[in-house]
Structure 1
Amino acid sequence: MSRHKKTMVEKMSRYRYGPLLVFQIFLMILYILFTTYGDAEEANVKGFEDTHVMIFIGFAFLMTFLKKYCYSALGYNWFLAALVIQWALLCQSFFHMKNNTIQITKKSLLEADIMSATVLITFGALLGLASGTQLLFLAIIETAVGCINLYLIESVYKASDIGGSIAIHTYGAYFGLGVSTAFRLRKPTGPEAAGTERLDGPTYISDITAMIGSIFLWIYWPSFNSGLAHSDAEGQRAIINTYLSLAAATVTTFVLSAMVSHKPGKLDMVHIQNSTLAGGVGVGAVANMFIGPGVAIAIGIGAGFLSVFGYRYVTPYLEKVGIQDTCGVHNLHGAPGVYSGLLSVLFAALATADTYGSEYKVIFSAYHK
């Protein structure tokens, strides 16, 4: 490469994030023109602080298991989430404007945090494949489409999905796998090929830092699934069901990991870091329903099976057909999310007004007698 070309490349590299600063200023203008503070009705919404910890610590450290991408996992997680939360606040509230004004409340902040989880799930599929600039521009597009998808699920189809297993986890996972497939079909050559080189492989230290993320996510997942509950009773059910499902998935994961690991009798850290969380996704869409504590445990066991067997058998198959899933989002978010969606259909069909009382029309707004 000539000296002139090298200088041009270096100059371009300096300003590669410049368009995002322009987008940040654009967001500032939109906030000045169209937003205001909401009233105090939603000031006591629970779950915002805990979900915030999940987004900026849980998801970030969970993705540090790759020794070559620890800095990228932490840095881009922070960058992506900070950008997406601002953008999601506007995109989600666009459908609920009052007098052409968006009222920002603690609840809308929580919803924006939850939407940012969608982008971070996608990030998990593309870590090491997409560049930082590509990830950030994808985040802008995915957030806009994701908010439309969420509006359709909640307001048009009126699906019961308090934990976002359908609208957040499943959407984020398969959006990421779709982009991953597109990257592989592109098959870059020459200098570009280095940007898609996979540098997989954990170290003892990177596995420990990933466990920090897993534990934070595990602890705060009940708050994530219960944050948008309409009443204290509904929120309490969501917390109980999520906690029991997580506990059951964890026990199942440890047992199955030793059974199917490449080293018989040894635990696989990929399973321990990820499949232990599958119970939170599996129960997400039905967490607020009267499913019974025993059924919540059964859901967690099923989610643990799905996730561990996914990592052991499905991920290698995806790699063979050329689909990269760096963090295995199909096994933690995609398959358990589909599982949770099917459970939502089942338990919505079994729901009766006698069981739910006054909550019946709130939880099942499109299906009541």
Structure 2
Amino acid sequence: MTDASTNMRLKLPIVCFILQIILIILFGVLVQYDHEVDAKKWHSHNHSDYDNDFYYRYPSFQDVHVMIFVGFGFLMTFLQRYGFSSVGFNFLIAAFALQWATLMQGFFHGMHGGKIHIGVESMINADFCTGSVLISFGAVLGKTSPIQLLVMALFEVTLFAVNEFILLSVLGAKDAGGSMTIHTFGAYFGLIVARVLYRPNLNKSKHRNSSVYHSDLFAMIGTIFLWMFWPSFNSAITAHGDDQHRTALNTYYSLAACTLSTYGMSALTAHDGKLDMVHIQNAALAGGVAAGTAGEMMLTPFGSMIVGFLAGIISVLGFKFLSPILEEKLKIQDTCGVHNLHGMPGILGAIVGAVTAAVASTDTYGDGMADVFPDVATGDVEASFQGIRQAISLAVTLGMALLGGLIVGFIMKLPVFGAPPDALCFEDSIYWEVSGNKLLFFDDWLNYSGKKTTKIIKYFINDSKSPIKLVVY
């Protein structure tokens, strides 16, 4: 089922080797350990080894790392014949993106004397950037080659770092859990890429753009891992002490409330009152997205639960009603529904963050204002203006994502990158060795090649109530 245009024998090795060699050279020239990692610098001061930031940050890093490689990877295994690619390509682009993100974020945040200093916090930030790329991956899942995905990661990581620098350093916004920088940016970047890569004849592959019982079960593995570790994700780089404690707690209750509203809305919107696994896999996570910006603020458990409750409702409604409109009217083929899980909840989180910042006061925060809103604490800006900063940051993020996605989408569209044909999307066997596929999927090859034959034998399961049938035609 692989032809000259999709054959990766030379293309993928060339791209992988060149990118990795360039990364090795750049790391050799530009990157060095920070003072908490460097043996000489760390031991030049009189302190306990257990004061090292590693012991505070590494548990959070482990949780975030599991989310990136297990959570995101398995969440996308719902497609019946795309499991290898969902997990495998997730693994590939994440391994590349975290290295490239270390450099790009270092250029803007970690340069000291011409060198990029790295430690456990830079590892977490690189994973955050990688998460944004994987969100975009979800929008184009099944319709792109591994080379296209590496090209997307190359440019998106760069734009992510620029947008992050503008928001956090120039505008002075707060976005600890990344509702804007990670989720909103990744979702709308991916949606515009998907629009540029629109396939008018994707219906030729529609029989594969669906799940089966076991593929949905695998996807729930990703959901559960993401759900469990999301409090660590949102709190990973917040200030030690009450800030980190508060962020984890706010996310915890937002996720819980979101899950109940997701189950309720899923049953309510179904014509027969049955739960939809797509809603449970995705919308139940929207509370973590929506709590990202305001998580470290004094949102209160009560406020966190309201945010999560609304996020679940919005996400389910998006899957049920908005996704078909986006595909039919705007020609946006969003495979994983990232607009519903990351896009709209990310905007909700940004709005909640802007409102919460605007009403911040020393009566509420006390001396803790210096950690959450340092400019407000010093009197440089009013709390209301901090809220305006947050709103402007959302607009900047949307602009960067839409414009960047448009440009990168056209680059990815170049035929040299080996995208799968319309009739063979959502199919592992184009890029992977898959045992037992030659007979089972021979009809797909015939559809693609246009060749005629007689007595073609195909095995298939008609539906869950029917036995395996033998069809001769």
TM value normalised by structure 1:
0.93
Secondary structure of residue in 2 paired with 1:158: coil
Matched, 1:127 2:169: no
Amino acid at match of 1:103: H
Secondary structure of residue in 1 paired with 2:122: helix
Matched, 1:16 2:27: no
Q: Which runs of 4+ in 1 moved over 4 A?
A: 193-198
Instruction: Check conservation: 1:250, 1:276, Cα contact below 8 A.
Output: yes
Q: Which residue of 2 aligns with 1:67?
A: 80
Q: Which residue of 1 aligns with 2:364?
A: 355
Secondary structure of residue in 2 paired with 1:66: coil
Amino acid at match of 1:53: V
Matched, 1:283 2:297: no
**What is the aligned counterpart of 1:267 among 254, 275, 296?**
275
Matched, 1:342 2:351: yes
Secondary structure of residue in 2 paired with 1:64: coil
Q: Which residue of 2 aligns with 1:169?
A: 183
In structure 2, relative to structure 1, the CA distance for the partners of 1:92 and 1:350 (3 Å cut) is same
Amino acid at match of 2:127: D
How far 1:365 moved relative to its partner? 3.2
How far 1:362 moved relative to its partner? 2.7
How far 1:12 moved relative to its partner? 6.0
Matches for 1:1-369 after TM superposition, within 5 Å: 9=4, 13-17=8-12, 18-40=14-36, 42-43=53-54, 44-45=56-57, 46-95=59-108, 96-184=110-198, 197-198=205-206, 199-261=208-270, 263-321=271-329, 322-368=331-377, 369=379
Deviations 1:222-265 (A, max 9, x none): 0000001112211111111000000000001011100102x421
In structure 2, relative to structure 1, the CA distance for the partners of 1:264 and 1:31 (3 Å cut) is same
Question: Matches of 1:171 and 1:146 in 2, distance apart?
Answer: 8
Give the greater-gyration-radius structure (CA): 2
How far 1:11 moved relative to its partner? 10
The count of aligned residue pairs is 355
Instruction: Check conservation: 2:15, 2:147, Cα contact below 8 A.
Output: no
In structure 2, relative to structure 1, the CA distance for the partners of 1:10 and 1:294 (3 Å cut) is closer
Question: Matches of 1:154 and 1:100 in 2, distance apart?
Answer: 21
Secondary structure of residue in 2 paired with 1:39: coil
Amino acid at match of 2:301: P
Q: Which residue of 2 aligns with 1:3?
A: none
In structure 2, relative to structure 1, the CA distance for the partners of 1:227 and 1:194 (3 Å cut) is same
Question: Matches of 1:328 and 1:158 in 2, distance apart?
Answer: 31
Secondary structure of residue in 2 paired with 1:285: coil
Deviates more, 1:62-71 or 1:35-44: 35-44
Q: Quote the RMSD (CA, aligned, Å).
A: 1.8
Question: Matches of 1:113 and 1:11 in 2, distance apart?
Answer: 30
Secondary structure of residue in 2 paired with 1:102: strand
Amino acid at match of 2:315: S
Q: Which residue of 1 aligns with 2:428?
A: none
Question: Matches of 1:196 and 1:70 in 2, distance apart?
Answer: 20
Question: Matches of 1:108 and 1:358 in 2, distance apart?
Answer: 27
How far 1:357 moved relative to its partner? 2.4
Amino acid at match of 1:51: V
Deviations 1:86-143 (A, max 9, x none): 0000100112300111111000000001110000000000001222211111110000
Amino acid at match of 1:167: T
How far 1:197 moved relative to its partner? 4.3
Q: Specify every segment of 5 or more residues in structure 1 that has no aligned partner in the other structure, as ranges.
A: 1-5
How far 1:19 moved relative to its partner? 1.9
Question: Matches of 2:90 and 2:6 in 1, distance apart?
Answer: 25
Question: Matches of 1:116 and 1:264 in 2, distance apart?
Answer: 39
Amino acid at match of 1:139: A
Instruction: Check conservation: 1:58, 1:213, Cα contact below 8 A.
Output: yes
Amino acid at match of 1:249: C
Q: Specify every segment of 5 or more residues in structure 2 that has no aligned partner in the other structure, as ranges.
A: 37-51, 380-473
Secondary structure of residue in 2 paired with 1:36: strand
Secondary structure of residue in 2 paired with 1:179: helix
Deviations 1:301-349 (A, max 9, x none): 0101110100001001011121111000000000000000011110001
Question: Matches of 1:158 and 1:129 in 2, distance apart?
Answer: 38
Instruction: Check conservation: 1:84, 1:139, Cα contact below 8 A.
Output: yes
In structure 2, relative to structure 1, the CA distance for the partners of 1:15 and 1:62 (3 Å cut) is same
Instruction: Check conservation: 1:55, 1:116, Cα contact below 8 A.
Output: yes
Amino acid at match of 1:87: W
TM value normalised by structure 2:
0.73
Secondary structure of residue in 1 paired with 2:309: helix
Secondary structure of residue in 1 paired with 2:32: strand
Instruction: Check conservation: 1:35, 1:104, Cα contact below 8 A.
Output: yes
